[in-house]
Protein backbone atom coordinates (compact mmCIF):
# COMPACT_ATOMS: atom_id res chain seq x y z
CA UNK A 1 0.00 0.00 0.00
CA UNK A 2 1.30 3.45 -0.82
CA UNK A 3 0.10 6.84 0.24
CA UNK A 4 -1.93 6.07 3.40
CA UNK A 5 -3.24 9.17 5.12
CA UNK A 6 -4.15 7.65 8.45
CA UNK A 7 -4.04 4.37 10.34
CA UNK A 8 -1.52 1.53 10.19
CA UNK A 9 0.27 0.83 6.94
CA UNK A 10 -1.04 -2.67 6.34
CA UNK A 11 -4.43 -2.68 8.05
CA UNK A 12 -6.12 -5.74 9.57
CA UNK A 13 -6.45 -8.99 7.64
CA UNK A 14 -9.99 -9.71 8.79
CA UNK A 15 -11.78 -6.54 7.68
CA UNK A 16 -11.41 -3.24 5.81
CA UNK A 17 -7.93 -1.69 6.00
CA UNK A 18 -8.03 1.25 8.39
CA UNK A 19 -5.84 3.45 6.23
CA UNK A 20 -6.74 5.60 3.26
CA UNK A 21 -5.41 4.44 -0.06
CA UNK A 22 -4.21 7.12 -2.45
CA UNK A 23 -2.37 4.65 -4.68
CA UNK A 24 -1.14 1.07 -4.78
CA UNK A 25 1.46 -0.92 -6.66
CA UNK A 26 1.06 -4.12 -8.63
CA UNK A 27 2.93 -5.76 -11.50
CA UNK A 28 5.50 -2.97 -11.44
CA UNK A 29 2.81 -0.32 -11.95
CA UNK A 30 1.35 2.39 -9.70
CA UNK A 31 -2.41 2.89 -9.65
CA UNK A 32 -4.20 6.00 -8.39
CA UNK A 33 -7.14 5.39 -6.07
CA UNK A 34 -10.08 7.45 -4.82
CA UNK A 35 -10.80 6.15 -1.29
CA UNK A 36 -13.77 7.90 0.32
CA UNK A 37 -16.55 7.46 2.84
CA UNK A 38 -16.52 6.07 6.39
CA UNK A 39 -13.10 4.56 7.00
CA UNK A 40 -14.61 1.70 9.00
CA UNK A 41 -17.46 1.01 6.58
CA UNK A 42 -17.86 -2.11 4.50
CA UNK A 43 -15.87 -1.64 1.30
CA UNK A 44 -17.45 -1.19 -2.12
CA UNK A 45 -14.89 -1.32 -4.96
CA UNK A 46 -15.99 0.63 -8.04
CA UNK A 47 -14.48 -0.21 -11.46
CA UNK A 48 -14.85 2.32 -14.28
CA UNK A 49 -15.15 1.61 -18.00
CA UNK A 50 -14.07 3.17 -21.30
CA UNK A 51 -13.40 6.01 -21.85
CA UNK A 52 -13.73 7.16 -18.24
CA UNK A 53 -11.83 7.12 -14.97
CA UNK A 54 -12.73 6.81 -11.30
CA UNK A 55 -14.45 10.21 -11.45
CA UNK A 56 -17.40 8.59 -13.23
CA UNK A 57 -18.50 7.38 -9.78
CA UNK A 58 -18.51 10.88 -8.26
CA UNK A 59 -22.33 11.04 -8.09
CA UNK A 60 -22.86 7.44 -6.97
CA UNK A 61 -20.22 7.24 -4.22
CA UNK A 62 -21.72 9.90 -1.89
CA UNK A 63 -25.03 8.03 -1.89
CA UNK A 64 -23.21 4.91 -0.70
CA UNK A 65 -21.25 6.89 1.90
CA UNK A 66 -24.51 8.22 3.34
CA UNK A 67 -25.48 4.62 4.11
CA UNK A 68 -22.19 3.89 5.86
CA UNK A 69 -20.19 2.34 3.02
CA UNK A 70 -16.60 3.12 2.13
CA UNK A 71 -15.89 3.31 -1.61
CA UNK A 72 -12.58 2.57 -3.32
CA UNK A 73 -12.39 3.50 -7.00
CA UNK A 74 -9.11 2.97 -8.89
CA UNK A 75 -7.96 4.51 -12.12
CA UNK A 76 -7.29 1.20 -13.81
CA UNK A 77 -4.45 -0.05 -16.03
CA UNK A 78 -3.84 2.31 -18.94
CA UNK A 79 -5.57 5.19 -17.16
CA UNK A 80 -3.41 5.87 -14.08
CA UNK A 81 -0.32 7.84 -15.24
CA UNK A 82 1.91 5.34 -13.41
CA UNK A 83 0.21 2.32 -14.98
CA UNK A 84 0.40 2.77 -18.74
CA UNK A 85 2.48 -0.04 -20.26
CA UNK A 86 2.77 0.13 -24.04
CA UNK A 87 2.56 -3.55 -25.01
CA UNK A 88 -0.79 -4.99 -26.04
CA UNK A 89 -0.16 -8.19 -24.05
CA UNK A 90 0.05 -6.12 -20.86
CA UNK A 91 -3.71 -5.56 -21.08
CA UNK A 92 -5.01 -9.12 -21.20
CA UNK A 93 -7.94 -10.02 -18.99
CA UNK A 94 -5.74 -11.95 -16.59
CA UNK A 95 -3.59 -8.90 -15.90
CA UNK A 96 -6.61 -6.64 -15.45
CA UNK A 97 -8.13 -9.10 -12.99
CA UNK A 98 -4.79 -9.33 -11.20
CA UNK A 99 -4.83 -5.56 -10.66
CA UNK A 100 -8.27 -5.73 -9.07
CA UNK A 101 -7.41 -8.74 -6.92
CA UNK A 102 -4.31 -6.96 -5.62
CA UNK A 103 -6.38 -3.92 -4.67
CA UNK A 104 -9.00 -6.01 -2.88
CA UNK A 105 -6.22 -7.76 -0.99
CA UNK A 106 -5.12 -4.42 0.45
CA UNK A 107 -8.61 -3.71 1.80
CA UNK A 108 -8.65 -6.87 3.88
CA UNK A 109 -11.54 -8.15 1.67
CA UNK A 110 -13.87 -9.63 0.71
CA UNK A 111 -15.62 -6.59 -0.77
CA UNK A 112 -18.77 -5.60 -2.57
CA UNK A 113 -17.74 -5.24 -6.22
CA UNK A 114 -19.34 -2.94 -8.80
CA UNK A 115 -18.23 -2.45 -12.40
CA UNK A 116 -19.48 -0.46 -15.38
CA UNK A 117 -18.71 -1.12 -19.05
CA UNK A 118 -15.17 -2.61 -19.28
CA UNK A 119 -15.11 -2.46 -15.49
CA UNK A 120 -18.04 -4.88 -15.57
CA UNK A 121 -16.19 -7.24 -17.91
CA UNK A 122 -13.23 -7.31 -15.53
CA UNK A 123 -15.59 -7.62 -12.60
CA UNK A 124 -17.30 -10.71 -14.02
CA UNK A 125 -13.89 -12.34 -14.44
CA UNK A 126 -12.77 -11.31 -10.96
CA UNK A 127 -15.86 -12.83 -9.35
CA UNK A 128 -15.45 -16.02 -11.37
CA UNK A 129 -11.71 -16.44 -10.74
CA UNK A 130 -11.57 -15.12 -7.16
CA UNK A 131 -14.97 -15.67 -5.52
CA UNK A 132 -13.32 -15.57 -2.09
CA UNK A 133 -12.55 -11.86 -2.64
CA UNK A 134 -16.14 -10.83 -3.36
CA UNK A 135 -19.22 -10.66 -1.15
CA UNK A 136 -21.66 -9.31 -3.73
CA UNK A 137 -21.41 -8.32 -7.37
CA UNK A 138 -23.24 -5.57 -9.27
CA UNK A 139 -22.61 -5.48 -13.03
CA UNK A 140 -23.58 -2.33 -14.88
CA UNK A 141 -24.39 -2.38 -18.62
CA UNK A 142 -22.20 -5.34 -19.67
CA UNK A 143 -23.57 -8.90 -19.36
CA UNK A 144 -21.66 -12.03 -18.44
CA UNK A 145 -18.85 -12.57 -21.02
CA UNK A 146 -20.20 -15.94 -22.21
CA UNK A 147 -23.70 -14.46 -22.56
CA UNK A 148 -22.21 -11.54 -24.48
CA UNK A 149 -20.45 -13.87 -26.93
CA UNK A 150 -23.60 -15.92 -27.48
CA UNK A 151 -25.56 -12.74 -28.19
CA UNK A 152 -23.19 -11.96 -31.08
CA UNK A 153 -24.59 -14.85 -33.12
CA UNK A 154 -28.19 -14.70 -31.93
CA UNK A 155 -28.98 -10.97 -32.10
CA UNK A 156 -27.79 -7.64 -33.48
CA UNK A 157 -25.05 -7.43 -30.84
CA UNK A 158 -22.30 -8.03 -33.40
CA UNK A 159 -23.45 -4.96 -35.34
CA UNK A 160 -23.67 -2.88 -32.16
CA UNK A 161 -20.10 -3.89 -31.30
CA UNK A 162 -18.62 -3.18 -34.73
CA UNK A 163 -16.79 -0.15 -33.33
CA UNK A 164 -14.44 -2.61 -31.60
CA UNK A 165 -12.95 -3.44 -34.99
CA UNK A 166 -12.07 0.22 -35.53
CA UNK A 167 -10.50 0.38 -32.08
CA UNK A 168 -8.27 -2.55 -33.05
CA UNK A 169 -6.69 -0.66 -35.95
CA UNK A 170 -3.29 0.48 -34.62
CA UNK A 171 -2.99 4.24 -34.06
CA UNK A 172 -6.07 5.12 -36.13
CA UNK A 173 -8.47 6.07 -33.28
CA UNK A 174 -5.71 8.08 -31.56
CA UNK A 175 -5.00 9.88 -34.82
CA UNK A 176 -8.68 10.62 -35.34
CA UNK A 177 -8.98 12.02 -31.84
CA UNK A 178 -5.97 14.30 -32.30
CA UNK A 179 -6.76 15.57 -35.80
CA UNK A 180 -10.53 15.56 -35.70
CA UNK A 181 -11.49 15.75 -32.01
CA UNK A 182 -15.00 16.98 -32.77
CA UNK A 183 -15.73 13.91 -34.89
CA UNK A 184 -14.42 11.62 -32.16
CA UNK A 185 -16.46 13.43 -29.51
CA UNK A 186 -19.52 13.32 -31.76
CA UNK A 187 -19.41 9.53 -31.58
CA UNK A 188 -19.47 9.75 -27.79
CA UNK A 189 -22.45 12.09 -27.95
CA UNK A 190 -24.28 9.66 -30.24
CA UNK A 191 -23.70 7.01 -27.58
CA UNK A 192 -25.47 9.27 -25.09
CA UNK A 193 -22.70 11.25 -23.41
CA UNK A 194 -23.74 14.69 -22.18
CA UNK A 195 -21.68 17.83 -22.63
CA UNK A 196 -20.31 17.38 -19.10
CA UNK A 197 -19.36 13.76 -19.87
CA UNK A 198 -17.55 14.82 -23.05
CA UNK A 199 -15.72 17.61 -21.23
CA UNK A 200 -14.51 15.04 -18.70
CA UNK A 201 -13.33 12.80 -21.54
CA UNK A 202 -11.49 15.73 -23.10
CA UNK A 203 -9.58 16.59 -19.91
CA UNK A 204 -9.16 13.21 -18.17
CA UNK A 205 -8.62 10.94 -21.17
CA UNK A 206 -7.55 12.84 -24.28
CA UNK A 207 -5.49 15.67 -22.76
CA UNK A 208 -4.02 13.44 -20.05
CA UNK A 209 -2.76 10.83 -22.51
CA UNK A 210 -4.98 7.98 -21.28
CA UNK A 211 -6.66 7.16 -24.61
CA UNK A 212 -4.01 4.68 -25.89
CA UNK A 213 -4.17 2.74 -22.62
CA UNK A 214 -7.95 2.60 -22.72
CA UNK A 215 -7.93 1.39 -26.32
CA UNK A 216 -5.36 -1.27 -25.40
CA UNK A 217 -8.10 -3.14 -23.50
CA UNK A 218 -9.88 -3.70 -26.83
CA UNK A 219 -6.65 -4.56 -28.65
CA UNK A 220 -5.86 -7.32 -26.16
CA UNK A 221 -9.31 -8.91 -26.40
CA UNK A 222 -8.34 -11.53 -28.96
CA UNK A 223 -4.97 -12.53 -27.59
CA UNK A 224 -4.56 -16.21 -26.84
CA UNK A 225 -5.19 -17.04 -23.20
CA UNK A 226 -7.49 -14.06 -22.65
CA UNK A 227 -10.55 -16.21 -21.99
CA UNK A 228 -12.63 -16.63 -18.86
CA UNK A 229 -11.47 -20.02 -17.56
CA UNK A 230 -14.06 -20.49 -14.81
CA UNK A 231 -17.26 -18.87 -16.05
CA UNK A 232 -19.70 -19.80 -13.28
CA UNK A 233 -20.65 -17.00 -10.88
CA UNK A 234 -21.28 -18.06 -7.28
CA UNK A 235 -21.82 -14.71 -5.56
CA UNK A 236 -25.11 -12.79 -5.20
CA UNK A 237 -25.41 -10.77 -8.40
CA UNK A 238 -27.36 -7.81 -9.71
CA UNK A 239 -27.33 -6.85 -13.39
CA UNK A 240 -28.18 -3.21 -14.13
CA UNK A 241 -28.97 -2.41 -17.76
CA UNK A 242 -30.54 0.59 -19.50
CA UNK A 243 -32.81 0.33 -22.52
CA UNK A 244 -31.22 3.41 -24.12
CA UNK A 245 -27.84 1.68 -24.43
CA UNK A 246 -26.71 1.79 -28.07
CA UNK A 247 -23.74 -0.53 -27.48
CA UNK A 248 -25.27 -3.37 -25.43
CA UNK A 249 -28.48 -5.06 -26.54
CA UNK A 250 -31.00 -6.97 -24.45
CA UNK A 251 -30.11 -10.48 -25.68
CA UNK A 252 -26.88 -10.78 -23.67
CA UNK A 253 -28.67 -9.49 -20.61
CA UNK A 254 -31.37 -12.14 -20.92
CA UNK A 255 -28.74 -14.89 -21.29
CA UNK A 256 -26.74 -13.79 -18.24
CA UNK A 257 -28.70 -15.71 -15.56
CA UNK A 258 -27.63 -18.96 -17.24
CA UNK A 259 -24.14 -18.37 -15.82
CA UNK A 260 -25.07 -17.33 -12.27
CA UNK A 261 -25.39 -19.98 -9.56
CA UNK A 262 -26.45 -17.54 -6.85
CA UNK A 263 -29.26 -15.09 -6.06
CA UNK A 264 -29.72 -12.91 -9.13
CA UNK A 265 -31.69 -9.78 -9.97
CA UNK A 266 -32.06 -7.76 -13.15
CA UNK A 267 -32.70 -4.02 -12.88
CA UNK A 268 -33.75 -2.30 -16.12
CA UNK A 269 -33.54 1.50 -16.26
CA UNK A 270 -35.87 2.95 -18.84
CA UNK A 271 -34.88 5.95 -20.95
CA UNK A 272 -31.26 5.95 -19.75
CA UNK A 273 -28.23 5.76 -22.05
CA UNK A 274 -25.13 3.62 -21.62
CA UNK A 275 -23.57 6.06 -19.12
CA UNK A 276 -25.57 4.93 -16.10
CA UNK A 277 -23.19 6.06 -13.29
CA UNK A 278 -23.35 9.71 -14.33
CA UNK A 279 -26.86 9.85 -15.77
CA UNK A 280 -28.81 7.70 -13.30
CA UNK A 281 -26.70 7.76 -10.11
CA UNK A 282 -29.66 7.55 -7.75
CA UNK A 283 -31.19 4.50 -9.40
CA UNK A 284 -27.80 2.81 -9.65
CA UNK A 285 -26.97 3.50 -6.01
CA UNK A 286 -30.35 2.07 -5.01
CA UNK A 287 -29.63 -1.14 -6.94
CA UNK A 288 -26.15 -1.42 -5.41
CA UNK A 289 -27.46 -0.84 -1.89
CA UNK A 290 -30.23 -3.40 -2.31
CA UNK A 291 -27.65 -5.97 -3.39
CA UNK A 292 -25.04 -5.23 -0.70
CA UNK A 293 -27.61 -5.18 2.11
CA UNK A 294 -28.87 -8.58 0.95
CA UNK A 295 -25.54 -9.97 2.15
Name the superfamily (CATH) of residues 23-293.
Alpha/Beta hydrolase fold, catalytic domain (3.40.50.1820)
The residues annotated with a catalytic role in the active site are 117, 218, 274
| pLDDT tens figures, 184-235 | 999 999 999 999 999 999 999 999 999 999 999 999 998 865 667 789 999 9
Measured CA to CA, the distance from residue 104 to residue 197 in angstroms comes to 28
Give the full edge-to-edge strand order of the sheet including 29-36: 23-26, 29-36, 70-74, 43-47, 111-116, 134-140, 237-242, 264-269
Side-chain half-sphere CA neighbours of 258 within 13 A: 14
What residues have CB less than 8 Å from 212, skipping those under 6 apart? 78, 84, 86, 174
- Predicted confidence (pLDDT) per residue in 66-121, tens digit: 999 999 999 999 999 999 999 999 999 999 999 999 999 999 989 999 999 999 99
Q: Give domain limits for the chain.
A: 23-293
For residue 95, the model assigns a pLDDT of: 96
Q: CA-to-CA distance for 254 and 278, rounded, in angstroms?
A: 24
pTM for the model: 0.93
How much is the pLDDT for 16?
Answer: 53
Q: How far is CA 224 from CA 29, 216, 221, 227, in A?
A: 23, 15, 9, 8
SS3 of residue 270 by DSSP = coil
Candidates 222, 216, 266; CA nearest to 77 is: 216
The stretch 257-274 carries a mean pLDDT of: 98
pLDDT at 88: 94
**Neighbouring C-beta atoms of residue 195, cutoff 10 Å:** 9
Amino acid sequence: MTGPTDGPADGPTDGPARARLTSYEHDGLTFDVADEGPIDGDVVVLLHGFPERASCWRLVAPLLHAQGYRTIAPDQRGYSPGARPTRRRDYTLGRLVGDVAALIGLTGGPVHLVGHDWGAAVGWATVAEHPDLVRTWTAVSVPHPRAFLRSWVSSTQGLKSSYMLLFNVPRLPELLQRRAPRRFEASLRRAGMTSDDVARFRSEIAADGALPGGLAWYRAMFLRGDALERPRITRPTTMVWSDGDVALGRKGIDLTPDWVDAPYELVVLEGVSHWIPTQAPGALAEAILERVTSA
